[in-house]
Chain A
Amino acid sequence: MNWKTTATAMGLALLASTGLARAEGVLNIYNWGNYTSPDVIKKFEDKYNIKVTITDYDSNDTALAKVRQGGTGFDIAVPSQTYVPIWIKEGLVLETDPGKMENFKNVAPEWANPDFDPGRKYSVPWALGTVGVVVNTDTYKGPADSWGIIFNTPDELKGKVNVVPEMNDVIFAAIKYVGGQQCTDDKAVLKKVRDTLVAAKPNWIAMEYNTIEKMGAGDFKATSDWNGSALRQRLANPAIHYNYPKEGYGLWSDNVVVLKEAKNVDNAKLFQNFIMDPENAAGLSAFHRYANAITGSDKYMPADMKDAPEVVIPADAKPKGEFQKMCAPEIQDIYTKIWTELQK
């Protein structure tokens, strides 16, 4: 490269940067990794002339700890429903009143007034999902709609089962399996939970998050997993099936909130409203592969998601779904002890 081209390149770069500076504004999103559709973001940027930056996090606890320290520069975060009440209680989020926004009419009635944010004063639904059991039917052909696959592993699957190491999900599943209620303080139930987990572990091969790749490569033949992940696995290998455990399974949702320390509040509100539009909500789903709570979005959904059993919960499994809650700190403490016992 000679000096002339270098100078031209620098000039162009300068032009580009001033171009950005002239945009209406910026929006800094703090979200889970590999979760935000670049196409939808591009559309938002073009429509409002706003430059969006996305920073990843890998767990609710990381996000909460970081935002609580303050000075993050983020405008938006996407906590799970179990954490939304904490964010509200700790005064981290701004009351943007999405319930009064223009596109709110699109939010499905069952999502318009959830327990974790009554009246939707703070949050807008981003994605909905379930936690269930994934089985490779080439290896195991029996009935798989039970947590028994994980906690009382059939012979064909012994030594081939993975468990996603999400403490609250795993203990929720084990409580359901032994017939208890989530966040129970019944010591007898919790003891059964611990014994079930400890007895089940020798049949597991791993406790990992990386299920899409490992189920695909055949390192695992069954795993506990989120439905969107299961969908990606089935698209890669049709023998892989997602199952809704009959003992009860967890439902979750991630929700967009605006931070109290946000510097670009107006842009953040525009974004909250923007993603409640059916076409945009479908765009988000097409990327992260989870369902959304927006009515009318189905007609924009990709063909392979419209009737996918991972996304559309079958009628007979529907009543078994239960929203996961945040347990009281003392209960959470017992969970941690059981978890340490399990992984020691």
Chain B
Amino acid sequence: MATAEEVAKAAERRDVRDRWLLSAPALLVILLAATGPLLIVLVYSFLTPGAYGDVKWQFSSDAWTSVFLERDIFDDTLSLAAAHVTIFWRSIKLAIVTTLATLALGFPTAYFMATRSEKTRDLWLFLITIPFWTNLLIRTFAVLQIIRNEGIINTILLKLGIISAPIQILYTDTAILIGMAYVYLPLMVLPIYASMEKLDFRLVEAGYDLYATRFKVLRKIIFPLVKPGVIAGSILVFIPALGAYVTPSVLGGGKNMMLSNLIELQFGQGRNWPLGSALSITVMIIVMVALLAYVRNAGKSGVRHG
């Protein structure tokens, strides 16, 4: 005999089943669309390069070996793939510096926005989203127009007589950083602002009442409470910055390869699709490891949101 409890349980089971069935089509599509292409990349990384691009269906682990080791072209000795390591490190460094730069600029911006009156906040939010209306390439070219030798900054400084020759900003690491910080700033501001908006500023007042210094209030009250926003923002900036392609090549002059250029080379002029595939997967593994480490660390010392 079915007790009321059993009936309730059965209903719950049915409910769970229905939910799964209803979401199954969407899940299936996501599963296929997300893992399908990745599986192809994985399989390709274990094949032999075709003579003129494409792959030969012949197993080989050469691609993976050459991600990490290189055979010297001239004396045939095996050694650590120094060129790849340099390029990987350059991209990782750029992603880290970009994240820090956007954080340094984005945190005060978000604080400023959150402390405005309710009405004007929407206006500020709106202003932050404006850059998203145009294409990334166009925004990058706008930066180029500002910093190039005949650009706005140099022209003004020259006219004012502050400098006698244009300052070479374009094609330097500074140029890349300026461009990256500008392009990725909104991705940092928005999540921090979302956290900051929910912040109860009475807690800040209470801190001051208890004779906390401004710095102490920032460190002990504001920062711990908006930490989820900072984490989300850092992740949103770090990942695309690692694969950045347009900004470094337009502003950096393309002399030094980024990870994305190295991968593109294998699918283009280098005609080594398996190596390109293996490099792509390596990047994904780096991102995954970095994320896990970051989230785990951030979670450990974090104050629980109430």
Interface residues of A (CB under 8 A from B): 59, 61-62, 64-65, 68, 86, 90, 159, 162, 165-168, 187, 190-191, 194, 201, 204-208, 217-219, 329, 332-334, 336-341, 343-344
Q: Is the CB of B271 within 8 A of A332?
A: yes
Q: Is the CB of B270 within 8 A of A339?
A: yes
Interface assignment of B73: CB less than 8 Å from any CB of chain A: yes
Contact residues, B35-90 vs A (CB, 8 A): 49, 51-54, 70, 73-74, 82-84, 86-87
* Neighbouring A residues of B87 by C-beta, 8 Å: 340, 344
* Neighbouring A residues of B266 by C-beta, 8 Å: 336
* Neighbouring B residues of A339 by C-beta, 8 Å: 265, 269-270
Judged by DSSP, the binding face of A is helix
Most buried by A among B70, B82, B257: B257
Interface assignment of B171: CB less than 8 Å from any CB of chain A: yes
A-B pairs with beta carbons under 8 Å apart, 6 shown:
A61-B53, A167-B265, A219-B148, A329-B52, A343-B257, A344-B82
State which size class the interface on B falls in: 35 or more
* Neighbouring A residues of B148 by C-beta, 8 Å: 217, 219
Task: Pick out which of these stretches binds chain A: B22-30, B214-222, B229-237, B248-256.
Answer: B248-256
Known: A343-B257, A344-B257. A218 touches B269 (CB 8 A): no
Q: Is the CB of B268 within 8 A of A62?
A: yes
Q: Is the CB of B256 within 8 A of A344?
A: yes
How far does the Cβ of A168 sit from chain B's closest Cβ, in whole Å? Answer: 7
Q: Is the CB of A336 within 8 A of B270?
A: yes
Known: A64-B53, A218-B150, A344-B87. A165 touches B272 (CB 8 A): no
Interface residues of B (CB under 8 A from A): 49, 51-54, 70, 73-74, 82-84, 86-87, 148-150, 168, 170-171, 249, 253-257, 261-262, 265-272
CA distance A332 to B86 in the complex (A): 22
Having A206-B255, A344-B84, one finds 12 other A-B pairs with CB under 8 Å, namely: A166-B269, A167-B265, A167-B269, A191-B73, A191-B74, A208-B254, A219-B149, A336-B269, A337-B70, A339-B265, A340-B87, A340-B262
CA distance A44 to B231 in the complex (A): 59
Q: Is the CB of B73 within 8 A of A165?
A: no
* Neighbouring A residues of B74 by C-beta, 8 Å: 187, 190-191
CA distance A220 to B73 in the complex (A): 33
Q: Is the CB of B261 within 8 A of A343?
A: yes
Q: Is the CB of A329 within 8 A of B256?
A: no
CA distance A165 to B264 in the complex (A): 13
Q: Is the CB of B270 within 8 A of A204?
A: no
CA distance A90 to B256 in the complex (A): 34
How far does the Cβ of A196 sit from chain B's closest Cβ, in whole Å? Answer: 14
CA distance A337 to B83 in the complex (A): 9
CA distance A257 to B259 in the complex (A): 35
Q: Which of B51, B150, B171, B270 is the one whose CB lies under 8 Å from A206?
A: B171
Q: Is the CB of B253 within 8 A of A208?
A: yes
Q: Is the CB of B73 within 8 A of A204?
A: no
Q: Is the CB of A90 within 8 A of B253?
A: no
How far does the Cβ of B50 sit from chain A's closest Cβ, in whole Å? Answer: 9
* Neighbouring B residues of A201 by C-beta, 8 Å: 255
Q: Which of B52, B83, B271 is the one whose CB lies under 8 Å from A344?
A: B83
Complex: chain B residue closest to A329, CB-CB = B51
* Neighbouring A residues of B257 by C-beta, 8 Å: 340, 343-344
Q: Is the CB of B265 within 8 A of A61?
A: no
Q: Is the CB of A205 within 8 A of B253?
A: yes
* Neighbouring A residues of B261 by C-beta, 8 Å: 343
CA distance A324 to B109 in the complex (A): 55
CA distance A343 to B265 in the complex (A): 11
Complex: chain A residue closest to B268, CB-CB = A61
Q: Is the CB of A344 within 8 A of B270?
A: no
Complex: chain B residue closest to A168, CB-CB = B269
* Neighbouring B residues of A329 by C-beta, 8 Å: 49, 51-52, 271
Q: Which of B82, B249, B269 is the one whose CB lies under 8 Å from A61?
A: B269
Q: Is the CB of B272 within 8 A of A336?
A: yes
Q: Which of B52, B170, B254, B262 is the one whose CB lies under 8 Å from A165?
A: B254
Q: Is the CB of A205 within 8 A of B171?
A: yes
* Neighbouring B residues of A168 by C-beta, 8 Å: 269
How far does the Cβ of B41 sit from chain A's closest Cβ, in whole Å? Answer: 15
How far does the Cβ of A40 sit from chain B's closest Cβ, in whole Å? Answer: 30
Q: Is the CB of B255 within 8 A of A59?
A: no
State the 10 A-B residue pairs at the shortest beta-carbon distance, nearest first.
A206-B253, A336-B270, A344-B83, A343-B257, A167-B269, A207-B254, A61-B268, A329-B51, A344-B86, A340-B83
Complex: chain B residue closest to A334, CB-CB = B73
CA distance A218 to B151 in the complex (A): 11
How far does the Cβ of B16 sit from chain A's closest Cβ, in whole Å? Answer: 43
